[in-house]
A = this chain, B = another copy of it.
């Protein structure tokens, strides 16, 4: 029906727009979390990721993922493309955030092309997409993952893990068995960024229902957004209580990362739960972040924004949760896909990043890190008039 076509197109554009708010969301979050001497380069990377990943997906990736432009006929193909395109940059954002304060920009830009044109589209092909490569690679199409706990967040997480193993920690971060605390430089930006991500998630998950034009789908969209939000609330509260219990202080970066953890965790199945289960899923998601952040530090996996804890750990947890809480969903299919994505994404990413690193040197050296990536790569201070202390 024409009216359904119109409604679903409009809704996809609405959802896409919300996701695009995640571009400033990630940019502000990361700009706030790093030191001032790395702020400009982090912002540059964020803008370039959006530009490069999206264009790579337009020119190459989309057809790998979905087979053809006419994949969708129930809404405007352009709207469907835009909604799918809005996802791509997020995968690279996860990587770039986790290697910030020590990575050079050009190699990251090259890696962005590979992710946007090939790695992410391959995973989409095997899961949400055309499924044409399932026989060539292997079949994980049994996965139940509404909006990408595995497809987006674990994919980004495994890539990031590869990058961190290759690049090593920021210089001076682990010394004499101790972890040097490096405080976030701008808490309002961290808060703004996390809240924009939160809002973007409504579009991410709500739009992934794929339609709003029937009573059933409208209910599913509304339930999805409600459950998405609830998991974020619960993650924030669990992040708060656990850090408060341990340190007797309110740590807003952990409250916000808890919320993001909850949001990642709910992403695999927000349309399937009743309205109370997301409280549990989100609270566990927040707790996992609080538990994982120091754990990765223990293994000297340096991740300035907590991306491994938020995206990889909770991507796995969220995907399992659908199998645990929803009868119809097989936990073995979920596990198979979790492992499947890992054994595809991690080695490919490792190989690609290793190769790029070989030719272009991904890691800024100690002196450059001391001076800050901004002066080396951008020649531009983020706040040139504010005198620095610390």
Seen from chain A, the residues whose Cβ lies within 8 Å of a Cβ on chain B are 2-3, 5-7, 9-14, 16-18, 20-21, 23-24, 27-28, 31-32, 35-36, 39-41, 43-44, 46-48, 50-52, 54-55, 58, 75-79, 81-82, 85, 105, 183-189, 191-192, 195-196, 198-199, 202, 206, 212-215, 217-219, 221-223, 225-226, 229-230, 232-234, 236-237, 240, 247, 249-253, 255-256, 259, 275, 279, 377-390
Contact = CB atoms under 8 A, between A and B. Distances in A.
A251 B380 contact: yes
Nearest to A182: B384
Contact of A191 (B24, B249, B250): B24
A226 B81 CA distance: 8
A94 to B, nearest CB: 18
Chain A facing B: main interface SS = helix
A47 B380 contact: no
A195 B259 contact: no
Given A10-B11, A377-B250, A389 B386 contact: yes
Contacts of A221: 9-10, 13, 76
Nearest to A258: B51
A55 B81 CA distance: 35
Contacts of A213: 6
Contact of A388 (B2, B17, B188, B386): B386
Contacts of A206: 13
